[in-house]
Amino acid sequence: MTSRDPWWANAVCYQVYVRSFADSNGDGIGDLEGLRSRLGYLELLGVQALWLTPFYRSPMADHGYDVADPRDVDPVFGDLAAFDAVIADAHECGMKIIVDVVPNHSSDQHEWFQAALAAEPGSPERARYVFADGEGDEPPNNWPSIFGGPAWTQVPDGQWYLHLFAPEQPDLNWANPEISEDLAKTLRFWLDRGVDGFRIDVAHGMAKPDGLPSIPADELKQFSELLAAPEHDPRFDADGVHDIHRMIRSVVDEYPDKLALGEIWVRDADRFAMYLRPDELHQAFYFGLTEAVYDADEIREAITSGLQAAESVGSHSTWTLSNHDVVREVTRYGDGELGTRRARAMALVELALPGAVYIYNGEELGLPNVDLPDEVLQDPTWERSGHTERGRDGCRVPVPWEGNEPPFGFSTAEDTWLPMPPEWRELCVEKQLEDPGSMLSLYRSAIDLRQKNPAFTGNTVEWFAGPAGCFAFRRPGGLICALNTSGAPVPLPPGDLLLASGPLAEDGYLPTDTAAWLA
């Protein structure tokens, strides 16, 4: 870290899925006042910034990613005064606030979409969205929606509108200057209220390719994956998107020291890096570690590619093991004790890296995904896929704070918006704070060292040769991080041990599924 680095360059940021963090009024749904009441915990954890998922006016077809008014707070989450109080208190605790914006689509209940439905084909109201004529009962092209089913819905006069996500999320027409003017207004609205940055939803969407070409029929099968766009996906990453990011950047730069961070599900490293050019986004979520299986070679490859992409355009890397859209890493890595041991190791890998780290709420508690019964599922994917894809609810179960039974201090209501498993009594914040061997204690120690120890400096990593299934890298400041994904203990690189994700083996060997920091 140099004094010239912006605040986000190496920050540890914490994603608050507002709906699942803390409920202040007993309706079983997390809210802004609940978050405010728990800021002390986040300060204790040691994070430097919070990313808040959408709390804007919304009918909640996609839990807030369907925005009906981007410049107001939904009553479920509170009001503008509650938001102002969160930001004031967070700043008081030295934490920055990043808020989500959702420029690819609006809610179908947004006044613009309601006006578009009431207006004629070809009208200025329809021109704010992507309306098109189909061929009889066939939609304008064969694009599937990310949540399953077609990406087009027909309206009574026969036209179709595009929705890359749920039908309740009509895509905005970014060829229409009114759309960018409105986003600029939204950005300034929240900047004037003191936010420190934006997480831009589907930042590889928005621009649409000329002529909206169909996907070649023989490729359609790979397009059913949630969020991650296959290569040459005409729905995403159109060249025109970069002008939109230049516009966003110019507005954000009207205010000093503010962050534009994009959600970019683009796997091609060169195309990903284009979003990080000096006049576009400051940072983008890089999902290499989210997608890598638990294997040293694959993880190393993901790290190298993430570092290179950012470096190639003079930007700073980001790392993330999970978020509200993916299976939690404890479960991805094998669940139970095994998954937890591996998740502990990966926490040390991630927190050893140069760049920003984004932690998803509950990750620091080692929460697994929850197998929820069919009748409580709420993610639109469940219905849209004809009950073949369960969707993302399993990673969105509310955070357990204290006590011995659900709702574990998350709420005073017994019925939380998703049920909390009784076994989570072992994972509550209160229990883990007292236990030096807990996941939470590991995160606290790791974040503290990362902030204070001069070994964590320099933007590059140098790899050591090591046994198969293992890796070790060194940062210029002197930190060494070693990971063992092989089946047997291996010798540690030389250095003084700073922290390990689990007990070391005899003779100081690094056991399987363990990571260690040395300096």
By the criterion CB under 6 A, which residues form the site for ligand NOJ? 62, 65, 102, 165, 201-202, 263, 324-325
Rounded to whole angstroms, how far apart are CA atoms 451 and 437? 21
Point out the residue whose Cβ comes nearest to ligand NOJ: 65
Is the distance from CB of 99 to CB of 127 less than 8 angstroms?
no
Minimum Å gap between C-beta 499 and ligand NOJ is 31
Report residue 315 as tokens: 């930007």
Q: Is 201 a catalytic residue?
A: yes
**Closest CB to ligand NOJ among 145 and 411?**
145
Interface residues for Ca ion in 16-35 (CB under 5 A)? 23, 25, 27, 29, 31
Q: Which does 25 bind (CB under 5 to 8 A by kind): ligand NOJ, Ca ion, none?
A: Ca ion
Minimum Å gap between C-beta 444 and Ca ion is 27
3-state secondary structure 48-108: CEEEECCCEECCCCCCCCCCCEEEEECCCCCCHHHHHHHHHHHHHCCCEEEEEECCCECCC
Rounded to whole angstroms, how far apart are CA atoms 369 and 335? 9
Q: Which does 33 bind (CB under 5 to 8 A by kind): ligand NOJ, Ca ion, none?
A: none
Q: Which residues of 155-192 are buried (b: 16+ CB within 10 A; e: fewer)?
A: eeeebbbbbbbbbbbbbbbbeeeebbebbbebbeebbe
Q: Is 402 a catalytic residue?
A: no
Q: Which does 344 bind (CB under 5 to 8 A by kind): Ca ion, ligand NOJ, none?
A: none
Of 201, 280, 350, 379, the active-site residue reads: 201
Of 254, 268, 405, 415, the active-site residue reads: 254
Minimum Å gap between C-beta 284 and Ca ion is 32
Minimum Å gap between C-beta 378 and Ca ion is 16
**Closest CB to ligand NOJ among 102 and 352?**
102
**Closest CB to ligand NOJ among 325 and 329?**
325
Minimum Å gap between C-beta 359 and ligand NOJ is 16
Count CA within 13 A, CB hemisphere, residue 247.
Answer: 21
**Closest CB to ligand NOJ among 160 and 265?**
265
Q: Is the peptide bond before 75 cis (omega within 30 degrees of 0)?
A: no
Residue listed under structure tokens 């000096």: 278
**Closest CB to Ca ion among 250 and 412?**
412
**Closest CB to Ca ion among 288 and 398?**
398
Q: Which does 439 bind (CB under 5 to 8 A by kind): ligand NOJ, Ca ion, none?
A: none
Number of residues that bind Ca ion (CB under 5 A): 5
Angle between helix 296-312 and 336-352 (nearest 10): 30
Minimum Å gap between C-beta 358 and ligand NOJ is 12
The answer to whether the Cα torsion of 166, 167, 173, 179 is positive or negative is: negative
Phi-psi region of 153 (alpha: psi -120 to 50; beta: other; left: phi over 0): beta
Query: Max CA-CA distance within the chain?
Result: 77
CA geometry: angle at 146 spanning 144 and 151, to 5°?
40
Q: Which does 29 bind (CB under 5 to 8 A by kind): ligand NOJ, Ca ion, none?
A: Ca ion
Residues carrying an active site annotation: 201, 254
Task: Name the site residues for Ca ion (rule: CB under 5 A).
Answer: 23, 25, 27, 29, 31
